[in-house]
Amino acid sequence: MIFKTDRNFALELDREDSLSRFRESFFIPKHTDGTESIYLCGNSLGLQPRQTKAYLNQELDDWARLGVEGHFHAANPWMPYHEILTETTAQVVGAKAHEVVIMNTLTTNLHLMMVSFYQPKGKRTKIIIEADAFPSDRYAVASQVQFHGYDDKENIIEWAPRAGEHTPRIEDLEKLLKEQGDSIALIMVGAVNYYTGQFFDLKKITSLGHAAGAMVGFDCAHGAGNVDLELHDSGADFAVWCTYKYMNSGPGSLGGCFVHERHANNTDLPRFTGWWGHNKDTRFKMRDDFEPMHGAEGWQLSNPPILSMVAIRASLDLFAQAGFEHLCEKSIQLTGYLEYLLKELKDDRISIITPSTPKDRGCQLSLAVKNADKSLYDAITAKGVIADWREPDVIRVAPVPLYNNYEDCWRFVEVLKSEM
């Protein structure tokens, strides 16, 4: 498509957008002047679906009316509630239903996965992460290395961009593995890097890791609900994600976990266990030795927080209505349009460090600001833009296809232009 810079073109694209109706399903925050903010921060916290409150009220009413009996007799019985989320979650992350479960929070799940999939032995003790990994990933990986009695400074290898570049190259990971593969126990990288927005080739990374004898896992915090992860086909051993970003489940909500089906019944894998991961047919006998459920559910610990799951369900129902493949198609065009408008500014005070190839990114564009001048971010915020600043010098903007439109992109660039 040939894009244009005028507002009428943005409005025309919105009129032609078959998913535009979903914007009305969300609350759009208001600016101080009463107009809708330009919300481009779904990569940090997704907006609230309008139906979330009704979904929550249903469970609050059932709790008030039924008490403990709500586990069995609520409109949506709480005992199997997490199962309601499974099918759509699997579709969104590209997995089979028995490979996914909603539970805990992302970093907790990452630790649980590393208990099972980071097993340092002999010379094979090291973990590869991307150089600019999200801090929680780095802390989790370092603490796991230390827990096993190793020095994290010597046993964490960073897959880094080349000098003068912003994003790491797959051929450099290949070289790393060729040189040090027999010492690598685990590769654990972000599927989509939080800072640059780069979407890694999960299948290629997994193939390289497995060929070197390593386990492979991904933090999909910025991938789930944003890009087509195809976790099952990637062959990854595990993946974890949060649901409060692109999956719109509310601040600090639950995480998700993927375990590839080849590990579904592997009782030889070490794991931390809890009663909700036990065979549900015998769970309430209370005296049996632990017998893990089939698939990812076997890593559950405790009965889940229903009120948090309700918010996830409210959002997933919208994903199911829209069709994730359609959202991905819109995302490519919407982000491509924003990229076009930004490049048309022809101003060297900002540069896009996110890969320009659609297959190598999701909806986030990371704008490096010359001289790390945060005053630009402050100025656009004062004019109704909700984006975020990441140290040392990046403004992240993410037009989310479920609720952002083309006019949002046009308005954002107009505000940016007025402050440059």
Q: Are 22 and 158 part of one and the same domain?
A: no
Q: Please indicate, yes or no, whether residues 293 and 378 belong to a single structural domain of this protein.
A: no
59, part of any domain: no
Same domain, 39 and 144: no
Cα–Cα nearest to 136, from 237, 241, 228, 47: 241
Q: Do residues 141 and 279 share a domain?
A: yes
pLDDT at 286: 85
pLDDT, one tens digit for every residue, the chain (420 residues): 899 999 999 999 999 999 999 999 999 999 999 999 999 999 999 999 999 999 999 999 999 999 999 999 999 999 999 999 999 999 999 999 999 999 999 999 999 999 999 999 999 999 999 999 999 999 999 999 999 999 999 999 999 999 999 999 999 999 999 999 999 999 999 999 999 999 999 999 999 999 999 999 999 999 999 999 999 999 999 999 999 999 999 999 999 999 999 999 999 999 999 999 999 999 988 878 999 999 999 999 999 999 999 999 999 999 999 999 999 999 999 999 999 999 999 999 999 999 999 999 999 999 999 998 899 999 999 999 999 999 999 999 999 999 999 999 999 999 999 998
Are both 221 and 342 inside the same structural domain? no
Q: For residue 280, how many other CB atoms are within 10 A of its CB?
A: 15
Distance CA(379)–CA(138), nearest Å, equals 32
Residue 238 resides in a domain: yes
219 occurs within a structural domain: yes
Instruction: With respect to residue 123, please indicate whether it lies within any of the assigned structural domains.
Output: yes
Estimate to the nearest angstrom the gap between the alpha carbon of 165 and the chain centroid: 24
Domain membership of residue 268 as a residue range: 80-242+255-303
Report the domain count for the chain.
2
Note whether 274 and 400 are same-domain residues: no
Which residues are 124's β-sheet partners?
A: 121
Query: Would residue 365 count as lying in a domain?
Result: yes
Same-domain pairing of 397 and 339: yes
Taking the CB of residue 2, how many other CB atoms lie within 10 A of it?
Answer: 5
Domain shared by 298 and 220, yes or no: yes
pTM summary value: 0.96
CATH number for 376: 3.90.1150.10
With respect to residue 411, please indicate whether it lies within any of the assigned structural domains.
yes
Strands 126-130 and 184-190, bridge-based pairing: parallel
Closest to 373 in 3D by CA, of 353, 354, 401, 392: 392
Q: Are residues 412 and 292 in the same domain?
A: no
Ramachandran area for residue 183 (φ above 0: left; ψ -120 to 50: alpha; else beta): alpha
The per-residue pLDDT for 287 is: 78
Do 163 and 19 belong together in one domain?
A: no
Return the HEC string of the chain.
CCCCCCHHHHHHHHHHCCCHHHHHHECCCECCCCCECEECECCCCCCCECCHHHHHHHHHHHHHHHHHHHHHHCCCCCCCHHHHCHHHHHHHHCCCHHHEEEECCHHHHHHHHHHHHCCCECCECEEEEECCCCHHHHHHHHHHHHHCCCCHHHHEEEECCCCCCCCCCHHHHHHHHHHHHHHEEEEEEECECCCCCEECCHHHHHHHHHHCCCEEEEECCCCCCCCCCCHHHHCCCEEEEECCCCCCCCCCCCEEEEECHHHCCCCCCCCCCCHHHECCCCHHHCCCCCCECCHHHHHCCCCCCHHHHHHHHHHHHHHHHHCHHHHHHHHHHHHHHHHHHHHHCCCCCEEECCCCCHHHECCCEEEEEHHHCCHHHHHHHHCCEECEEECCCEEEEECCCCCCCHHHHHHHHHHHHHCC
CATH of the domain at 298: 3.40.640.10
Question: Do both 93 and 153 map to the same domain?
Answer: yes
Residue 297 lies in a domain: yes
Structure tokens at 69: 């009996």
User: What's the confidence (pLDDT) of residue 372?
Assistant: 87
Residues 128 and 26 placed together within one structural domain of the fold: no
52 in a structural domain: no
